[in-house]
Amino acid sequence: MIMHFQYKPLFENKKIPGWNFSFYFNKQHFTGIYHQTGKIEWTSTPPEQEVIQTLTSQIHELMLYHVYE
């Protein structure tokens, strides 16, 4: 489960899409960039392949809820 999910705009002009995000999963800290297209660019070591699809889906849902509500 994702814990302590945080995001902030990537650019000072908040109308330009793109967000930095961070969260904890299994006691590890992860960071990345969420692009307008839904693409995730990991800025930390990416999660293991076994969980990356699940985490990507959860991040997408969180961003839809918080940013595009």
For 4-28, how does the pLDDT look when each residue is reduced to its tens digit (9 = 90+)? 999 999 888 877 789 999 999 999 9
| Diameter of the chain measured on Cα atoms | 36
Instruction: Please state whether 34 falls in left (phi above 0), alpha (psi between -120 and 50) or beta.
Output: beta
CA proximity to 5, closest of 16, 17, 21: 21
In this prediction the pTM is: 0.88
**Owner of token pair 């595009």:** 68
Tell me what the pLDDT averaged over the chain comes to. Answer: 91
**pLDDT above 90 (res 69):** no
- 37 and 27 Cβ atoms separated by less than 8 Å: no
